């Protein structure tokens, strides 16, 4: 974690010293509400009412959430025909009723642009110790619960290219390392993914896009001697994402948006001794709506909501019930966009 922060701030400090261009930065504050923080199924809500240890440190099923964010962009090279930008991002999140769910995320982008919608971008993202919930650690016992957290390090390379006057495409790939804290290291995953996004600008209205992601998650840590049971948690995933943004002729608001995200995941596991994963798949659906209002030239406010549902398919009804859930989230974000120019 320290090394990641050190690299990010070193790169940004070097770019800051590079004179001739201003520093654009954004400070954001988000207040939100999550009605199912631990992603409980219907049956688990009832179980938790009888056994509070399932809740871990959570005092309620839902929680209010606060997020503080910072984003800064600096052009290292800037000219009429090309520019090289460095962007730094950082967010701190805190769930008031779930003390374990306090984490930070951040990263940086390096983008080289040589025309309108023509650029190549390298991105690094880090999600630090994201808490899911307490799970039974079956390597030790059948009833001992332990907190389950994972850390993501995600690297990607994306290319953008204009297709026509009103359309452009983004395509590329990445490598995501999702590693769990002890005692759940047998769930560690190395994920290679590819994605392509087609964007289309609708005159006097806004724009619409369609994105497809395909990924392969490989679970190497299940091999002996790391885990006696040697269960394989590898899977294939394909995701469809379709956002619509309306920016013109919108009463009162500056932007109205809608998006649908559907992920189909199929597990490799075929071991009958691992009924939780064997023959299992799920469809994870996320539906988002947001309303954005520019208060001034530098201040804007966005209200957004998300409905999420996961439908699990398995030979076993108890697995279907256990791994399916619904979730509602509401967010209100206030941002200040500012420029510092010492030149």
Instruction: Give average pLDDT by consecutive 10-residue segment, the chain, 343 residues.
Output: 57 58 92 97 89 90 97 88 93 95 96 94 97 80 84 98 96 97 90 98 94 95 55 92 94 95 91 76 97 96 98 91 95 94 65
Which has the closest alpha carbon to 271: 230, 312, 235? 230
pLDDT at 287: 98
Token pair of 52, please? Answer: 């509070």
What is the extent of the structural domain holding 302? 2-340
Do β-strands 118-136 and 189-202 pair in parallel, antiparallel, or remain unpaired? unpaired
The CATH number of whichever domain residue 307 belongs to comes to 2.40.160.40
* Residue entry with tokens 């209100």: 332
Which has the closest alpha carbon to 101: 120, 81, 127, 80? 127
Exposure of 146 by Cβ count < 10 A (0-12 exposed, 13-18 middle, 19+ buried)?
middle
pLDDT at 266: 94
User: How many domains, the chain?
Assistant: 1
Q: What is the pTM of this model?
A: 0.91
**Cβ density class 197-231: b for 16+ within 10 Å, e for less:** bebebeeeebbbbebebebebebebbeeeeeeeeb
pLDDT at 228: 46
pLDDT at 139: 60
Cβ atoms of 196 and 211 within 8 Å: the answer is yes
């Amino acid at each position: 974690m320290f090394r990641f922060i050190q690299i990010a701030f070193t790169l940004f400090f070097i770019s800051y010293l590079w004179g001739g261009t201003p520093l654009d930065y954004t400070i954001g504050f988000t207040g939100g509400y999550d009605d199912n923080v631990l992603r409980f199924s219907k049956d688990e809500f009832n179980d938790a009412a009888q056994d509070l240890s399932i809740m871990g440190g959570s005092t309620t099923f839902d929680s209010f959430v606060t997020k503080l964010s910072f984003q800064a962009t600096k052009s290292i090279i800037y000219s009429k025909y090309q520019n090289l930008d460095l962007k730094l991002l950082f967010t701190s999140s805190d769930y008031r009723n779930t003390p374990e769910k306090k984490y930070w995320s951040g990263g940086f982008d390096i983008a080289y642009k040589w025309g309108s919608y023509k650029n190549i971008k390298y991105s690094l993202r880090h999600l630090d110790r994201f808490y899911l919930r307490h799970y039974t650690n079956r390597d030790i016992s059948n009833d001992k619960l332990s907190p389950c957290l994972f850390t993501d390090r995600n690297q990607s390379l994306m290319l953008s290219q204009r297709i026509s006057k009103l359309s452009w495409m983004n395509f590329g790939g990445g490598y995501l390392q999702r590693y769990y804290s002890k005692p759940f290291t047998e769930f560690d995953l190395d994920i290679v993914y590819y994605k392509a996004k087609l964007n289309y600008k609708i005159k006097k209205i806004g724009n619409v896009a369609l994105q497809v992601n395909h990924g392969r998650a490989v679970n190497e840590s299940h091999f002996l001697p790391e885990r006696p049971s040697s269960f394989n948690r590898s899977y294939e995933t394909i995701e469809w994402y379709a956002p619509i943004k309306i920016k013109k002729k919108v009463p009162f608001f500056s932007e109205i948006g809608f998006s649908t995200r559907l992920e189909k995941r199929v597990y490799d596991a075929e071991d009958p001794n691992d009924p939780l994963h064997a023959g299992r798949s799920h469809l994870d659906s996320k539906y988002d709506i947001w309303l954005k209002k520019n208060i001034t030239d530098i201040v804007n406010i966005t209200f957004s909501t998300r409905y999420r549902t996961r439908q699990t398919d398995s030979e076993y009804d108890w697995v279907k019930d256990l791994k399916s859930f619904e979730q509602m989230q509401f967010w209100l974000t206030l941002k200040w966009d500012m420029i510092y120019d010492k030149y």
